[in-house]
Structure 1
Amino acid sequence: MRKLLILGIVLLAIFWLSYWILETRLGSVVLEMARVRATSIATRAINNAVSDRIAKSILYDQIIKTEIDNQGKIVFIQVNTAEVNRIASETSLSVQDTLKDLSNQEIYIPLGQVVGGKILAGRGPKIPIKVLPVGTVESSVSEEFMEKGINQTSYRLFVKIKANVSIIVPLIRTEATVQTQIPIANIIIPGTVPEVYFNNPPLYGQGGAE
């Protein structure tokens, strides 16, 4: 009986020592790998959601209107602010729903991947990861001008998405920010950069409304 008691104490000590080593040595590694994997999955899910539910319904001529002079050059660009805001709002709601769905998915990291080495990669017990949305999804509309070849400028309009997610692994919890941007309009402008009217006052050149 005494031998069994000693054996039990030794096994318990080994268990707690192993746990301490895993917690102190591998805890940060597990957390970082979980953060990278969860952020990648969340970003991909967001992009897919926007592509499937939002991008197909975007009509370019409802977003941007241009004025052309007698020589066929674009001299003025008018952005439909109401339509752009509608797209940004729908995008936020779509992303929020996607992140809620993501919280029901099972994501794992093989323990062998955490330990490292080619032999153990992808092997061993699976460490579960949970991704939960935190707060509301933020969206903003931005614009940019970029040089495109000789005497040409590209005017781009896109929606920026920012969402916070909580990443949970056994006994550890952290938060990460997922950011992505979705282009909703792009126009190539030959010659001089025209005046752009977006959300008052007019913007010129390197404007950046957010």
Structure 2
Amino acid sequence: MGGFPNPNDCSKCVCPGGYAGDLCTERPDEGCGRKIDATEEWETLTDVLGDYSVRQPLEDFKKCHYWIESPRGTEIVVEIVSLKGHQAVDGCVYTGVEIKTNKNQQLTGYRFCAPQAAGKTFRSFTNRVPIMTWNKVFKSETVLRFKHVAPIAPHMKNAMFARLALGEMSEFHCTSPVQWNYDTTTSSYDQASNEI
């Protein structure tokens, strides 16, 4: 999914985060994570990494890779429920979660490691959301919830994003009566109500 040819072996690709395999069509498997099928009901993903006895940062990260998938023609909503034990430092260099809801999966997703991220909600452009967690010190717990929803009509998305980019609006309404607020500091959307 969006890799580029490896200059040392053109039969293989260099993959973006959240993807693996010769052609970037597989979920990375570092011994942790799984593929999860989203339904129309909220489901919870709880990921625990690390060990309280680890006081000094490890040399390498412990990582988990999840793919949340839904039926073709649907989109996925992901909400951060809580981030416990995460080290809230610039760059999330010790612990964190990355949620890739971008249309262009080559781009880095939204990364968080501060408990204040709880409540942030993201909506995918496609029916797959790679989620990566990492830890190299102490113990961290990431709790997310997710479900699949009907897509927003493309012409509505384009018009909303154009108006957001021009600064003509700071929020938009979906086809359902849900209000989404655009946060310019994180380039993400927050849901104004808990119902989707």
Q: By the TM > 0.5 criterion, same fold? A: no
Structure with more relative contact order (C-alpha pairs < 8 Å, separation 6 or more) = 2
- More strand per residue: 1 or 2? 2
Q: Which has the higher helix share?
A: 1
Q: TM-score if structure 1 supplies the norm length?
A: 0.23
Larger Rg: 1
TM-score, with normalisation over the residues of structure 2?
0.24
